[in-house]
């Protein structure tokens, strides 16, 4: 996925081994070329402004800090520093570390040449990201040198998502059934509430550079168990009449969460719904349910991991489920059957005299 980020580093290192003779009039303003890393695909960066740090590496080994939490944003079609303008030096090279979104308050983000940390960070609506370290840079890179994303030339800045992203959809497993005797049953399922609770919302993430000098290593987020997000109401409008096709919850939107392990009794979802059963003899049965379940029990997903987009599809079955693995989309495992038997006669010993 990222092997193309390494191609050409040896050639760049050779270039930086000598002093470049660049006329003063042609000195180039530093620009950035940004993209998102999503699983196996690089896509255009859609975030707002981001922050960046850089260091100048001289030929004698001297390292000098250059940019320190500079705000980078769009200037026309290019990504450039917004508050101060920087130019490529004549000699040596620059290393860059970037994160998004930009935070003027530096208490939540700490960056050194070999580490990047988000400390006591509380998740909101921002897509928190960090970029691979761009090393041995001497000029704005041509598009396609490191990854194929359209855009202007600049420092290759490939962002990874530090959070997880969730979305939910809901459907009825089935809504009608014709039995072998041609009797028909139908159901109406209406979901009035679906609420997420107990999601851990604040934590610290420490990233350190691997031996290759560009890739980040991390043990993952350390969550603050005492801080949770407000409850999230997934039904945002009127009660939803379900169909057998999946309908999006939360207005069709996804949302960011802190990566975390799913634990019994911690992250829960509460449903309130009504099932109206139209019986084959014409009678109607109405049932109202409220049920709270642990998310840890709902699927094989044991944790929400960084850079993962997780889609939950909730299926509500309008009948009791006896063997859902064999009958996920029909009620045949819940047909009412009878087991008739009769008790043995109890013999009364003794004579019974009837007098008329």
Q: Give me the pLDDT at residue 168, please.
A: 97
Residue 119 in any domain: the answer is yes
Half-sphere exposure of 158 (CA within 13 A, CB side): 29
List of long-range contacts for 315-318, beta carbons under 8 Å, 24+ apart: 315/170, 315/171, 315/172, 315/173, 316/170, 316/171, 316/172, 316/173, 316/189, 316/191, 316/242, 316/271, 316/273, 317/172, 317/173, 317/174, 318/172, 318/173, 318/174, 318/175, 318/187, 318/189, 318/275, 318/277
33 near 139, Cβ under 8 Å? no
Nearest one of 294, 260, 243, 8 to 123, comparing CA atoms = 260
Q: Whole-angstrom Cα distance, residue 214 to residue 4? A: 12
Same-domain pairing of 117 and 193:
no
List, as one string, the DSSP characters of 82-105: SSS--B--SSSEEEEEEEES--S-
Domain match, 138 and 16 both: yes
> Is the pLDDT at 202 greater than 90, yes or no?
yes
Q: Both 61 and 80 in a single domain?
A: yes
Q: What is the pLDDT of residue 56?
A: 98
pLDDT at 15: 26
CATH code for the domain of 139: 2.60.40.2620
What pLDDT is recorded for position 162?
A: 97
- The total domain count for the chain is 2
When mean pLDDT is compared across 134-138, 276-280, 296-300, 321-325, the lowest value belongs to: 321-325
Q: What is the mean pLDDT of residues 251-268?
A: 97
Q: What is the pTM (predicted TM-score) of this model? A: 0.84
| Residues 231 and 307 grouped into a single domain | yes
Q: What are 28-65's pLDDT values in tens digits?
A: 899 998 877 554 456 668 778 999 999 999 999 999 99
12 pLDDT above the threshold of 50: no
Decide if pLDDT at 76 tops 90: no
pLDDT band with cut points at 50, 70 and 90 for residue 71: very high
Cα→Cα distances 286→187, 229, 281, 289, Å? 10, 35, 15, 10
Residue 16 pLDDT > 50, yes or no?
A: no
- C-alpha–C-alpha distance, residues 235 and 192, integer Å: 7
For 307, the token pair is 């850079």
**b vs e for 221-249, b when ≥16 Cβ sit within 10 Å of the residue's Cβ?**
bebbeeebbeebebbeeeebebeeebeeb
User: Do the domain assignments include residue 341?
Assistant: no
Give the CA distances from residue 201 to residues 38, 166, 248, in Å, rounded to whole numbers and listed in that order: 22, 14, 23
**Alpha carbon distance 131, 162 (integer Å):** 10
Task: Calculate mean pLDDT across residues 115-140.
Answer: 96
Which of the residue ranges 22-26, 79-83, 285-289, 329-333 would you say has the lowest mean pLDDT?
A: 22-26
My answer on whether 102 and 184 are in the same domain is no
d(CA 295, CA 317): 18
Q: For the chain, give the percent of residues with pLDDT over 70.
A: 86
10 Å Cβ neighbour count for 3?
6
Res 225: pLDDT: 97
Tokens, residue 208: 């350190």
Decide which of 112, 134, 162 is a domain's last residue. Answer: 162
| CA angle at 322 for the pair 319 and 325, rounded to the nearest 5° | 105
Residue 96 lies in a domain: yes
**Claim to verify: residue 145 and residue 266 sit in the same structural domain:** no
Pair 293, 269: CB distance under 8 Å: yes
Give the model's pLDDT for residue 283.
Answer: 98
* pLDDT > 90 fraction of the chain, expressed in percent and rounded: 69
pLDDT of residue 9 exceeding 70: no
Q: Which domain holds residue 243?
A: 165-201+226-332
Judgement on whether residues 49 and 186 belong to the same structural domain of the protein: no
User: How far is 99 from 111, CA to CA, in rounded Å?
Assistant: 9
Contacts of 135 (CB under 8 A, 6+ apart): 9, 93, 95, 213, 214
Mean pLDDT across 216-227: 97
Mean pLDDT of the chain: 87
Token reading at 170: 């809901």
* Together in a domain, 92 and 233: no
Do 47 and 114 have their domain in common? yes
Same domain, 183 and 127: no
With a cut of 80, say whether residue 10 has pLDDT above it: no
Binned at pLDDT 50, 70 and 90, residue 144 comes out as low
């Amino acid at each position: 996925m990222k092997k193309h980020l390494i191609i050409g580093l040896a050639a760049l290192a050779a270039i930086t081994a000598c002093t470049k003779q660049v006329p003063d009039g042609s000195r180039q303003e530093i620009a950035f070329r940004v993209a998102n890393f999503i699983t196996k695909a690089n896509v255009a960066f859609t975030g707002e402004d981001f922050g960046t740090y850089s260091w100048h590496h001289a030929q004698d080994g001297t390292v000098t800090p250059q940019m320190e939490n500079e705000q980078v944003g769009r200037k026309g079609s290019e990504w450039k520093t917004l508050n101060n303008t920087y130019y490529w030096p004549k000699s040596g090279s620059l290393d860059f570390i970037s994160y998004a979104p930009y935070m003027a308050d530096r208490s939540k983000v700490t960056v050194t040449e070999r580490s990047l940390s988000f400390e006591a960070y509380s998740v909101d609506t921002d897509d928190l990201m960090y970029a691979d370290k761009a090393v041995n840079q001497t000029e704005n890179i041509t598009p396609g040198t490191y990854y194929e994303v359209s855009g202007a030339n600049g420092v290759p800045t490939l962002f990874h998502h530090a959070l997880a992203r969730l979305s939910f959809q809901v459907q009825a497993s089935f809504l009608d059934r014709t039995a072998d005797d041609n009797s028909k049953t139908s159901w109406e399922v209406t979901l009035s509430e679906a609420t997420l609770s107990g999601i851990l919302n604040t934590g610290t993430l420490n990233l350190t550079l691997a031996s290759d000098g560009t890739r980040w290593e991390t043990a993952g987020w350390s969550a603050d168990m005492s801080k949770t997000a407000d409850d999230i109401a997934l039904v945002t409008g009127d009660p939803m009449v379900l169909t057998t096709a999946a309908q999006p919850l939360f207005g069709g939107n996804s949302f960011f969460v802190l990566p975390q392990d799913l634990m019994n009794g911690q992250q829960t979802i509460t449903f309130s719904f009504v099932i109206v059963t139209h019986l084959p003899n014409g009678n109607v049965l109405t049932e109202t349910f409220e049920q709270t379940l642990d998310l840890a029990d709902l699927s094989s997903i044991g944790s929400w991991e960084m850079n993962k987009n997780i889609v939950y599809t909730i299926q509500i079955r309008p009948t009791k489920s006896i063997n859902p693995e064999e009958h996920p989309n029909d009620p045949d495992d819940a047909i009412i059957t009878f087991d008739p038997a009769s008790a043995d006669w109890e013999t009364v010993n003794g004579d019974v005299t009837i007098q008329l």
